[in-house]
Each structure stands twice: as structure tokens, then as C-alpha cells.
Amino acid sequence: MLILSFSIPALSPAYEGDGVVESGETSAEELRKASQNPMADLMSFPIQNNTNFDYGPLEKTQNITNIQPVIPISLSDDWNLITRTIVPLINQPEFVPGQGSKFGLGDVNLSLFVGPKDPGDVIWGAGPIFLLPTASDDRLGADKWGAGPAAVVLKMKDPWVFGILGQNIWSFAGDSDRGDVNQMLIQYFINYNLPDGWYLSSAPIITANWEADSDNTWTIPFGGGFGRLFKVGKLPINAQVQAFYNVEKPDTIGPEWTLRVQLQTLLPKSIFQ
């Protein structure tokens, strides 16, 4: 989930909980809204760790750490391009006794969202997503090139944030001995903001593998958690923890539940001034 030019407005002095934000800095309220808006004109560097429990036929633990730089690029006075890259580091457990686990780089996803700089009440963006066969081992990726459409839409009405992101990737090239990719992802997100930078959040990731049989198509999690926006020195950090139980999952490999921990470093324009 990317940037090169920034246009976050500098705000007048505002209270932030631990003191007054100096003139020219981005206020806590501005940062809070930007951190919850996937189309915000804000550079950020999230690191998200997903631990999947009871994964695979031997019910082992899988761990995926996603490095997700977000970089906005100004296309014109009216339009932004938000680039989002997901670089997964995967610790894959064994599927049969004696196989052993495998750790390495998975397949990289690159999405490019074009959206208006001044969208009004409903914020949106749309563009292509690309699957890159970067996996360091066959067990960690599809060994296919893929592409498809992606879109996001959301509404922010304090103290709530509601939104949904959707995408579908089809493979078009790669190792002919490997299975084709035709996979949909839908992520809805709901945030309820509390005082002092705290918030409640639910952002499960629903997937459908259209190449699988009906018993192994869907992964549908349910759950949520909490987070807080705070500062380390002058550097804003958005931290969150969420847990999800999979009410529907593939019979063969789907995990029972997932623990997600994320640290997102925010890089507003004022940091570089």
C-alpha cells in the first residue's frame, strides 16, 4: 500500500495533547485524517506483520511481514497519483512432515491510484494493480506476471471513517507449469476516532481465488482492534493491532485466525522543512 511531491497544507497553531504545534507544522487532526485516508497526499512507510495461526494441512503458523511504502505524485493542479507497493517477507511453514519451513521474499504488488486533489465529500481513486514474480522460492510466490483493476472509495465524517478497496488480478505470463492467477481482494475499513489520538478500527481483507474449487475459494475474516497516533520526537507514528477470525476459509490451507500488528511512519511536508 506509495509518493514524490507533497501538498499537505501547513496549519495555524493547534493543540495536540502534549503541547502546541508550532506554526508551519501539520496538526494532529490533519495527520489523523491523512493516516486514515488511503488517497491522502502524504508520504508514509507502513510495516505490517500478519501472523496466521493453524495454517496449512499441518496447522502450523505462517508469518508475512509487508513493507508498504506509499508515495504520492502530483500529476497536475487537480490530480494526484498515489503509488502503493507491497513487498512481502514470508516465513512459510512446512506442508508435509520433514519438508521444513521456508523464509524469503514473496511476489511484489504495485498499485497506482489516480484521484482528485479536491474530491469533495466522497474520496476516491482508481487505477491498475500489477503482480510481479519476485518470490525468492517457488513456495513463496505464483511465478506469474499479473495485472488488473483496483479502486478505493471512502467517506470521512467525524468521528467515523467508512471505506472499501477492491481489486482483481489475472495472470498473463510466467511459468506455464504453474497455475493461473485469478484472485479478487476486497477490504472494507471502519474507524471510530476517540480522544488523544486513539481509535477503534476494523479492516478485514476478504479474498476469492477464482481458480480454486468452491470449497477453497473464499477467505472471509471478521474482527478488529484499536490504534493510536503519537509522536516519537517530531516523527508521527500510527500504531495499530487487529485480530481476525476466518468465518470462511479454504479447506486445504486457510488459517483459523490472524493477528495483525502495524507501525506506520508518517512523513508530512513539515518534517522536511
Domains and CATH numbers, the chain: 14-272 (2.40.160.40)
Torsion of CA 110, 92, 64, 192, to 10 degrees: 110
What was the pLDDT predicted at 31?
83
State how far the alpha carbon of 266 is from the alpha carbons of 23, 29, 46, 114, 270, in Å: 19, 13, 8, 21, 11
What was the pLDDT predicted at 27?
72
153-178 pLDDT, tens digit each? 999 999 999 999 999 999 999 999 99
For residue 249, how many other CB atoms are within 10 A of its CB? 21
- Continuous segment of H or E residues that includes residue 30: helix 28-35
What was the pLDDT predicted at 17?
36
Grid coordinates belonging to 196: 488523544
What was the pLDDT predicted at 4?
28
